[in-house]
Amino acid sequence: MGHFIRWREYRRRIAVFLWAGMLVFTGVLAGGCGAEDGAKMLSGTGIFSWSETLPEKKEEQKQLQETAELLEIERVFQAFPESMEEGSAGGFISDLGLRGIECYGLIGTPEWGTDSGMGEACRRIDELADYNGRVSDGRRLAGVVADIEPYLLSRWDTQPRQVMEEFCGSMKEIYLHAKTRGLSLTLCIPYWYDEDYPEFLEALVRDCCDEIAVMNYYVGKERSHMETELKLCRQYGKPIICVSEFQPPGDHDLTNDNTYYNRGLAAAEKTWRLIQKDSGYGKLTFAYHYLEPVRELALSR
């Protein structure tokens, strides 16, 4: 009987030991899952690519693909030449698709935001829609991203409200035309429209796009600078992209306050995670601007 009691106690101790070990192992797995969930917080991340020669040059494509793999990019906003070659453009888009990456046509000039320039914007959309109509599913663009920047027009200095009113009217027509041609439209806007033009900002979100991309170029103030845009996107059920700048200070009058170039990719990604956690908005994603400086930073970290 004594031997039996000792054996039962021995088995009990083994069971306790195994149970404790299982808890530790489960905790490790949970921790691992938490890290994976953290990575998934940035799903849908995009990158801007302005090189129109990239879809035709294998070396440039390879650089994009390597960068996309390093940063787990899922969307590429790519500029294309006006005459899109079905072979080169289609092959490029297909290669991205095989890697789980969607490709969007990146278009826009400030003049497109005027009554006189609207027709040129619609013509460009027609070119991209016609291309999509000629190729098979795996070679099609997922949509267009319009970066128009009406505040760069000379009239902005003296007539900003008139320019914004004209811009909103033009964008509404451009958006309706894109929908008619079967293309989704993502509209790029600066973070500061809500300061002086809140009614126009609301109209742009409500009537002029499928998705908003906020060029959120003020390091450390991204969350506060997106509050209004997030609120409007929630209200109208629109996706929103927070875009961060990575060009070196000095380029295009950028200062260290505008870009993460000297802070690095990890600093921006940390900010993105905080914004996503605070927002709790499932339609919020993020994007790098733009390929060349981002690639430099990705390879150096």
Residue 259, pLDDT score: 98
Tokens of 229: 């845009």
Q: How far apart are CA 212 and CA 187, in angstroms?
A: 5
163-174 burial: b if 16+ Cβ within 10 Å, else e: bbebbbbbbbeb
**pLDDT at 301 (0 to 100):** 84
Distance CA 301, CA 150 (A): 36
pTM, full prediction: 0.87
On whether the CB atoms of residues 76 and 84 are closer than 8 A, the answer is no
Residue type, position 42, single letter: L
The predicted structure's pLDDT at residue 170: 98
**What's the confidence (pLDDT) of residue 20?**
45
Helical ranges in the chain per DSSP H:
2-40, 58-71, 86-98, 118-134, 160-180, 193-196, 198-207, 222-225, 227-236, 265-279, 291-300
CA angle 90, 93, 94 (to 5 degrees): 80
Task: Give the tens place of pLDDT for each residue, 229-242.
Answer: 999 999 999 999 99
Q: What pLDDT is recorded for position 68?
A: 97
User: How many CA atoms within 13 Å lie on the side-chain side of 14?
Assistant: 6
Tell me what pLDDT residue 136 has. 96
- All residue ranges of the chain with pLDDT < 70 are 1-41
CA 162 vs. chain centroid, Å, equals 30
CB atoms within 10 A of CB 111: 16
With a CB cutoff of 8 Å and minimum separation 6, the contacts of 222 are 191, 216, 242, 244, 271, 275
Report the C-alpha gap between 68 and 80 in whole angstroms.
Answer: 18
Instruction: Determine the pLDDT at residue 84.
Output: 87
